[in-house]
């Protein structure tokens, strides 16, 4: 397993993705910086009102970048809210990494080589999954630290240790959702294999779920079928995290979503891999 994992890391290291992903992340930092151009900040996928509460500060979901109540003395909560708003586009970059890296061997016909040498196909698959997650985690953490640095420099704010630890907690929760999204994408990759179709399906699913959620949020629990579709969507969790709706059981929902991907999606993808014929 270790040798196969090392092989996958080397494959990623010498691929174009190893350079392309950081370039896309740099472009993301530029985009994040552009959110500060407006004096009122930037708001995306915002919906107001809730059947559970009418409190303005809690009755809203979405992504808010540089929307400080007082731009001269913003709170660290507002700074964190601004930084994690980047999840609105980070999932696209992670999706590119996941699809391109996983499907490359299929398109190049090299997926069968390690199996021909007697390496178990499950080990091959798990090595790819671990490689994608570790590289994504590294890029994701560095990006979130960069956004925190940019925001703090922009407003001249010096966070304390406890605030940084709290920020890391939010980043960690968001990345648990990202892992689930990657495992979902990998399951779709195994089924479809065509990069264009996979990208289209995942983009329609993710963006479509966000649009549906903003449309039904005020009566969310009355939509029996749609709410389960929304619960599978990563933007559901990031949109709620964007306004720190933790008091409504969001942390438990994120953990359940992660466990669902780990205990359901991962075993299902392994079964699909075992039954798949490599040509």
Per-residue pLDDT reduced to its tens digit, 231-274 = 899 999 998 898 888 877 889 999 999 999 999 999 999 999 88
Q: What is the mean pLDDT of the chain?
A: 85
CA 208/CA 60 separation, integer angstroms: 19
Cβ distance 119 to 4 under 8 Å?
Answer: yes
Q: Please, what is the angle between helix 161-192 and helix 76-84, to 10°?
A: 20
At residue 58, φ and ψ (nearest 5 deg) are -100, -25
Q: Which residue has the tokens 């980047």?
A: 86
- For residue 190, the Cα-to-chain-centroid distance in whole angstroms is 19
| pTM of the model as a whole | 0.89
- C-alpha distances in Å from residue 140, one per residue of 21, 24, 137, 192, 272: 11, 12, 5, 27, 29
Which helix (H) or strand (E) segment is 221 a member of?
A: none
CA 201/CA 190 separation, integer angstroms: 13
Cβ distance 147 to 65 under 8 Å?
Answer: no
Q: How many CB atoms lie within 10 A of CB 205?
A: 18
pLDDT of residue 237: 93
Check whether 209 has a pLDDT greater than 90: no
Q: Which residue has the tokens 């294999």?
A: 193
| pLDDT tens digits for range 79-114 | 999 999 999 899 999 999 999 999 887 776 666 667
């Amino acid at each position: 397993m270790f040798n196969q994992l090392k092989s996958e890391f080397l494959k990623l290291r010498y691929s174009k993705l190893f350079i392309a992903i950081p370039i896309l992340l740099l472009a993301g930092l530029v985009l994040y910086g552009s959110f500060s151009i407006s004096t009122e900040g930037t708001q995306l996928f915002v919906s107001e009102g809730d059947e559970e509460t009418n409190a303005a500060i809690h009755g809203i979901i979405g992504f808010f970048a540089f929307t400080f109540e007082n731009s001269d003395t913003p709170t660290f909560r507002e700074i964190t809210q601004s930084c994690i708003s980047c999840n609105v586009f980070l999932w696209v970059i992670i999706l590119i990494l996941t699809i391109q890296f996983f499907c490359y061997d299929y398109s190049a016909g090299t997926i069968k080589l390690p199996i021909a040498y007697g390496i178990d196909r499950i080990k091959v698959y798990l090595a790819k999954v671990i490689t994608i997650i570790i590289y994504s985690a590294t890029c994701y953490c560095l990006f979130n630290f960069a956004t925190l640095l940019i925001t703090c420099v922009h407003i001249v704010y010096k966070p304390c240790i406890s605030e940084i630890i709290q920020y890391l907690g939010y980043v960690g929760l968001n990345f648990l959702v990202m892992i689930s999204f990657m495992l979902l994408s990998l399951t779709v990759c195994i089924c479809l294999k065509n990069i264009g179709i996979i990208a289209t399906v995942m983009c329609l699913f993710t963006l479509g779920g966000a649009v549906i959620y903003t449309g039904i949020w005020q009566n969310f629990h009355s939509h029996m079928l749609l709410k389960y579709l929304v619960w599978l969507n990563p933007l559901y969790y990031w949109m709620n995290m964007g306004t720190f709706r933790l008091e409504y059981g969001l942390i438990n929902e994120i953990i359940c979503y992660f466990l669902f991907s780990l205990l359901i999606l991962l075993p299902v993808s392994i079964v699909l891999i075992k039954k798949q014929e490599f040509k």
